[in-house]
């Protein structure tokens, strides 16, 4: 699929802007703090209904404005798809092909996007939360039901935790939440396990190609509680663990077991590179994960996702840059960069080059390779 057009209104530092994109490569250049990442962010909200930079939707409303709106037109499987998202101080509303939809979840199966930013390059070495977020983001795109289950799990967890923080704690009140927590928790665990198995197969192959067979990645699910192959078994086990840990949870004032503590283990040639990898290994792994993510979306949905590369090309060395660019046929690409080297420009397939300055986008020239 690809994006044809975006219209922005009061989105961050954009007042009113309309941009038409190339179906293959869109290079967005400009000095710092001009609106390059803002533009990518405005496109990204079409996929998950929220930003990749902030959890607070209202941050995207232009300073001193009441609302912001982004409308995009894309082509998917030969058909035009129009999505409009309006964010006001009180909430958000979405229209798909002119029809109002009530929830974020309706968006999920429409636009598939993968974003890759310098933050993502650190995903391997950073705290488990980052890797959980990565898994959740992808699973939400692939399985809208996962999005629902995750939302429910988080809500119940929050309620259980707030009970644990009260002055006077009634154990049976807390146990009331355990049934639901175990139900949704088990669903999340099962889905994560399936996802990581698939991702592992693909990223093994990709990492092997990037490193000429020197370092093959091995991803595994580091579930916070023991993984069980059946759902009922998983649920019962999680319930047992919740009640077993209740006393210590009361002391800690938070829930200590469950998928909110999961991690993704990333090894290369038997070494846990989260902790012991060189920066080079960690970057190669991050790149493999991202490319695996794109392939997996394509395999599972039949749709080529759109890739947003925010300032990441200049962070990769020549070899990794080449690999990335050359493995992206069929994917519509958005690349932001402060400086575009001729070398990179030559390698990119045909596309458009844009220049962003102070919230305005100019289509500069065609890249005619």
Q: Which residues bind ligand ADP (CB under 6 A)?
A: 12-13, 30, 32-38, 59, 61-63
Here the tokens at position 170 are: 């009634």
Closer to ligand ADP by CB, 33 or 176: give it: 33
Site for Mg ion (CB under 5 A): how many residues?
A: 2
Q: Which does 13 bind (CB under 5 to 8 A by kind): ligand ADP, Mg ion, none?
A: ligand ADP
SS3 327: coil
CA–CA separation, 69 and 269 (whole Å): 48
Kindly list the distances between the CA atom of residue 311 and the CA atoms of 133, 316, 335, in Å, as whole numbers in the listed order.
20, 10, 7
Shortest spacing between CB 118 and ligand ADP, in angstroms: 11
Closer to ligand ADP by CB, 61 or 264: give it: 61
CA–CA separation, 281 and 76 (whole Å): 36
Contacting residues for 214 by C-beta, under 8 A, at least 6 apart: none
Q: Which does 32 bind (CB under 5 to 8 A by kind): ligand ADP, Mg ion, none?
A: ligand ADP
CA–CA separation, 43 and 63 (whole Å): 19
CA–CA separation, 32 and 357 (whole Å): 9
CA–CA separation, 57 and 87 (whole Å): 7
Contact 183, 149 (CB under 8 A): no
Contact 153, 185 (CB under 8 A): yes
Closer to ligand ADP by CB, 64 or 317: give it: 64
Closer to Mg ion by CB, 24 or 36: give it: 36
Closer to Mg ion by CB, 47 or 336: give it: 336
Q: Which does 63 bind (CB under 5 to 8 A by kind): Mg ion, ligand ADP, none?
A: ligand ADP
Question: What's the half-sphere exposure (Cβ side, CA atoms, 13 Å) at 229?
Answer: 0
Shortest spacing between CB 45 and Mg ion, in angstroms: 16
Closer to ligand ADP by CB, 37 or 224: give it: 37
Shortest spacing between CB 30 and Mg ion, in angstroms: 9
Closer to ligand ADP by CB, 44 or 153: give it: 44
Q: Which does 33 bind (CB under 5 to 8 A by kind): Mg ion, ligand ADP, none?
A: ligand ADP
Applying CB under 5 A, does 117 fall inside the site for Mg ion? Answer: no
Q: Which does 212 bind (CB under 5 to 8 A by kind): Mg ion, ligand ADP, none?
A: none
Q: Which does 282 bind (CB under 5 to 8 A by kind): ligand ADP, Mg ion, none?
A: none
Q: Which does 104 bind (CB under 5 to 8 A by kind): Mg ion, ligand ADP, none?
A: none
Contact 218, 268 (CB under 8 A): yes
Q: Which does 277 bind (CB under 5 to 8 A by kind): Mg ion, ligand ADP, none?
A: none
Strand segments, DSSP code E, in the chain are: 2-9, 16-20, 25-29, 67-76, 79-88, 91-96, 99-101, 113-116, 217-222, 263-268, 271-272, 306-310, 333-337, 351-357, 360-367
Under rule CB under 5 A, which residues in 21-50 are in contact with Mg ion? Answer: 36-37
Shortest spacing between CB 38 and ligand ADP, in angstroms: 3
Residue of this chain nearest to Mg ion (CB atom): 37
Contact 265, 274 (CB under 8 A): yes
Contacting residues for 293 by C-beta, under 8 A, at least 6 apart: 114, 138, 199
Q: Could you identify the residue written with the tokens 């889905």?
A: 191
Shortest spacing between CB 257 and Mg ion, in angstroms: 38
Closer to ligand ADP by CB, 35 or 258: give it: 35
Under rule CB under 5 A, which residues in 249-288 are in contact with Mg ion? Answer: none
Q: What does the DSSP 8-state code read for residue 341?
A: -
Task: Identify the CA nearest to 137 among candidates 97, 160, 104.
Answer: 104
CA–CA separation, 351 and 74 (whole Å): 16
Under rule CB under 5 A, which residues in 138-167 are in contact with Mg ion? Answer: none
Shortest spacing between CB 39 and ligand ADP, in angstroms: 7
Shortest spacing between CB 57 and ligand ADP, in angstroms: 11
Closer to Mg ion by CB, 28 or 199: give it: 28
Q: Which does 62 bind (CB under 5 to 8 A by kind): Mg ion, ligand ADP, none?
A: ligand ADP
Torsion 300-306-310-315 (CA) sign = positive
Shortest spacing between CB 70 and ligand ADP, in angstroms: 13
């Amino acid at each position: 699929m690809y994006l044809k057009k975006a219209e922005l209104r009061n989105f961050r530092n954009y007042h009113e802007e309309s941009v038409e994109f190339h179906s293959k490569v869109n290079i967005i250049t400009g000095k710092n703090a001009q609106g390059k990442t803002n533009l990518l962010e405005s496109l990204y909200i079409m996929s998950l209904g929220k930003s990749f930079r902030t959890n607070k939707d209202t941050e995207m409303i232009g300073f001193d404005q009441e609302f912001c709106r982004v409308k995009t037109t894309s082509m998917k499987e030969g058909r035009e798809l129009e999505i409009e998202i309006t964010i006001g101080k009180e909430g958000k509303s979405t229209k798909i092909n002119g029809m109002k939809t009530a929830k974020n979840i309706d968006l999920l199966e429409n636009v598939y996007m993968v974003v890759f930013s310098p933050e993502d390059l650190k995903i391997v070495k950073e705290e488990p939360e980052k890797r959980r977020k990565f898994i959740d983001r992808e699973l939400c795109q692939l399985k809208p039901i996962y999005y629902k289950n995750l939302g429910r799990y988080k809500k119940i967890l929050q309620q259980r935790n707030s009970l644990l923080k009260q002055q006077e704690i009634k154990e049976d009140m807390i146990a009331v939440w355990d049934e639901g927590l175990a139900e949704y928790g088990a669903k999340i665990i099962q889905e994560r396990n399936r996802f990581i198995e698939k991702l592992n197969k693909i990223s093994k192959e990709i990492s092997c190609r990037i490193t000429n067979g020197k370092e093959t990645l091995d991803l595994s699910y580091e579930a916070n509680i023991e993984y069980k192959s059946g759902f009922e078994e998983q649920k019962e086990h999680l319930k047992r663990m919740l009640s077993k840990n209740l006393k210590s949870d009361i002391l800690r004032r938070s829930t200590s077991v469950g998928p909110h503590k999961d991690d993704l283990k990333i090894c290369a040639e038997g070494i846990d590179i989260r902790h012991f990898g060189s920066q080079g290994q960690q970057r190669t792994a991050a790149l493999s994960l991202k490319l695996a993510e794109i392939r997996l979306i394509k395999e599972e949905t039949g749709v080529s996702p759109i890739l947003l590369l925010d300032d990441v090309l200049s962070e990769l060395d020549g070899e990794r840059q080449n690999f990335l660019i050359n493995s992206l046929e069929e994917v519509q690409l958005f690349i932001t960069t402060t400086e575009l080297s001729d070398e990179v420009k030559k390698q990119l397939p045909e596309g458009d080059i844009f220049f962003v300055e102070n919230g305005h986008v100019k289509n500069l020239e065609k890249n005619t390779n």
